[in-house]
Amino acid sequence: MGTADDLRRWVEAGLIDEDTAARIGEHESRRKGGERVGRGTEAVAYLGAVLVLVALAILTAEFWDRIEPWGRFAVSAIVTGVLIGVGWLLGRSTEPAVNRAQTFAWFLAVGAVALTAGVFFDGIVKTDAQDSFLWVSLISLVATIALWIARPSTLAIVAMAFAAWAATIAIISRFDTVPDWTFGLAFAGLGTAWFLLTWGGILRPTTASYAISAIGILFIAFPEGSHMPWPLLGLAGALALMALSVRLNQTVLLGFGVVGLFVYIPMTIFELFEESLGVPVALLITGVALLGVVVGTVRFRKEVQT
Amino acid sequence: MTRQAWSAVAGAIAVMVAVVVIIVVASVPLPEFPPITPGQFDASLAYVAETNCVRAVDLADAEVRELHCVSERDWIDNVVWTEAGIEVGVEGFQSTIVVLDPETGDVIETRNRDGAYPGDWPLRDQDLFIDIPSDGTIVIRDEHNQVLITLVGPEMYGIDTLVGASDRQMVALVDSSQRLAVFDRDVGQPYLIDTDARPYPPPAWKP
């Protein structure tokens, strides 16, 4: 049984996470002389690929407006097919750098899928902008889920998160009858569900997935700004992330919790005390509270690490 | 799947269901505009629909007519109803002013735009004011600060366009849900014309 099989069994048993397994895999591959492409070569290859893509995008933009919608649809569908095909071919290699290229090609394919869907609904079916956005985001979400199932990398789960956020915005935007704060609530709900699925071992890589869930949870107060009680809910979310970081030994949750405190403590203090105590006192309380956060973070970090 | 995974899935579903229930409960209905009935008002209005088409409605018979559409590569940036017909400014692939027959939609004249706007943007300054108090209502007032209508809707609801007729009696509005409605300043109840109207360019009343 090879290293890859061992690593897969250990990930499935919950002994190590995907990130660690990938790092061990790469290390073993290098040790055995399996990796033939150096990091420098890989970086230059990506730079070249990006330059080629930018040049193609500029060339396409020159005539994009002058071709009929079905022509645009055909061009974007072909690009999608090529990127998926390239990714599929690259995935058959045992070389880690080539496998990373597969993830990159499929990540670009998600963008191409979104473009194809956009051209289809906007140019051919002629749905209105809101409907087009909804369909494009839902189709992109399905594409990113497929990408993530095929290769659960950090790039794949980040793409899935962006598609899920876009779909959330598209769905809520369709309802003219809901207040602004529902966007924050939906993002926080999605973040909480994402967190639970990560904790349950379903969503991975773990670190990236926890980071995505934390962003969603901390977003709760953004649509309403400093209006009460939203900063308090943001504060509660940040504190919960810090507590969970200790429970789950996840430094990434601690990091996002601290960022949340830095955002929501000043917001809460200014909202509660600016009028009664004045700006200088509110600043003083904020400063002391943030110093407390820094000291507390150092203690928390030690606890997370132990 | 492990027991922890099943618990996670159940928890995630419960959270999302709770969010959906809260959003549904929190939703506030749009202000209700009853449909216009024939004979209720005597005025005519031209406007642009989301389909990139110019439409006209004769309020006397409450009938909406689609007069003229432009290609998706163009956009209509101005509509003015003049004695000559409905003058439509088209930008994009072409840059023209098209004059339409208000009854049939036939193109009476097409002229090069040369940067000009059709008509004079008459009656755009109507001395109509929109107040949005902090309680979420929308109040439309006239130049004497008299309340014409009060609309109660959800937080994101708004009036995007408000255009008074030259008789200073009728007013057309397009709300944030693309609903075109008209009201008499003395009555204060908006009546629905269309659910697919663009706020810009603003609708144009027949002089």
Q: Is A74 part of a structural domain of the chain?
A: no
Domain range enclosing A199: 179-306
Crossing angle for the helix pair A206-218 and A154-173, nearest 10 degrees? Answer: 30
Contacts of B11 in chain A (CB under 8 A): 193, 196
Q: How far is CA A101 from the centre of its chain?
A: 19
Which of A182, A198, A247 is the best residue to mutate to test the B interface, defined by the most B CB atoms within 10 Å of its own CB?
A182
B30 CB within 8 Å of a chain A CB: yes
A127 CB within 8 Å of a chain B CB: no
Count of pairs with CB atoms under 8 A, one residue in A, one in B: 86
Q: Is A244 part of a structural domain of the chain?
A: yes
Span B155-159, average pLDDT = 81
Residue B130, classed as helix, strand or coil, is strand
* Closest CB from A69, A181, A201 relative to B5: A201
Contacts of B1 in chain A (CB under 8 A): 202
**Short-list A134, A137, A138, A115, CA closest to A69:** A115
Q: How confident is the model at residue A303 (pLDDT cuts 50, 70, 90)?
A: low
Q: Is A99 part of a structural domain of the chain?
A: no
Residue A184: CB partners within 8 Å, gap ≥ 6? Answer: A219, A220, A221, A222, A223, A224, A230
Q: Is A223 part of a structural domain of the chain?
A: yes
Q: In DSSP terms, which residues pair with B100 in a beta bridge?
A: B86, B107
Q: How far is B83 from chain A (nearest CA, A)?
A: 33
| Helix intervals (H) in B94-202 | none
Query: How far is it, in rounded angstroms, from Cα A26 to Cα B200?
Result: 57
Query: How far is it, in rounded angstroms, from Cα B195 to Cα B50?
Result: 9
- Tokens 């057309």, residue located: B172
Q: How confident is the model at residue A1 (pLDDT cuts 50, 70, 90)?
A: very low
Give me the amino acid identity at A138: L
Q: How far is A151 from chain B (nearest CA, A)?
A: 19
B30–A180 C-beta distance less than 8 A: no
**Short-list A256, A184, A285, A188, CA closest to A225:** A184
Residues 103-162 of B with CB under 8 A from A: 153-157
Q: Is A299 part of a structural domain of the chain?
A: yes
A33 CB within 8 Å of a chain B CB: no
ipTM here: 0.73
Contacts of B177 in chain A (CB under 8 A): 176
Least confident of A232-236, A293-297, B60-64, B186-190: A293-297
Give the whole-number percent of chain B exceeding pLDDT 70: 92
Give the angle subtended at the CA of A209 by the CAs of A34 and A148, to the nearest 5°. 60
Q: Could you read off the pLDDT of A97-117 as tens digits, one per residue?
A: 777 788 888 888 999 999 999
Q: Is A3 part of a structural domain of the chain?
A: no
**Domain boundary assignment for chain B:** 44-205
Query: How far is it, in rounded angstroms, from Cα B160 to Cα B179?
Result: 10
Q: Is A140 part of a structural domain of the chain?
A: no
Give me the amino acid identity at B26: A
Query: How far is it, in rounded angstroms, from Cα B110 to Cα A271?
Result: 58
Write out the H or E segment, with its range, that includes residue A145. Answer: helix A129-150
Q: How far is A23 from chain B (nearest CA, A)?
A: 25
Residue B132, φ and ψ in degrees, nearest 5: -120, 85
A93 CB within 8 Å of a chain B CB: no
The predicted pLDDT at position B125 comes to 54
B30–A182 C-beta distance less than 8 A: no
Span B47-75, average pLDDT = 89
* Closest CB from A176, A190, A199 relative to B8: A199
B11–A196 C-beta distance less than 8 A: yes
Query: How far is it, in rounded angstroms, from Cα A241 to Cα A152?
Result: 24
Phi and psi based region of residue A135 (left: phi greater than 0; alpha: psi -120 to 50; beta: remaining)? alpha
A65–B50 C-beta distance less than 8 A: no
Number of folded domains that form chain A? 1
The predicted pLDDT at position A261 comes to 86
B50–A176 C-beta distance less than 8 A: no
Q: Is the dihedral of CA A226, A229, A230, A236 positive or negative?
A: positive
* Closest CB from A123, A178, A202 relative to B23: A178
Q: How confident is the model at residue B123 (pLDDT cuts 50, 70, 90)?
A: very low
Q: Which two tokens stand for residue A167?
A: 């779909």
Least confident of A29-38, A150-159, B35-44, B46-55: A29-38
A79 CB burial (10 A radius; 0-12, 13-18, 19+): buried
The predicted pLDDT at position A203 comes to 92
Own/partner contacts of A233-237, CB < 8 Å, gap of 24 or more, are: A233/A188, A234/A260, A234/A263, A234/A264, A234/A267, A235/A260, A235/A261, A235/A264, A235/A265, A235/A268, A237/A188
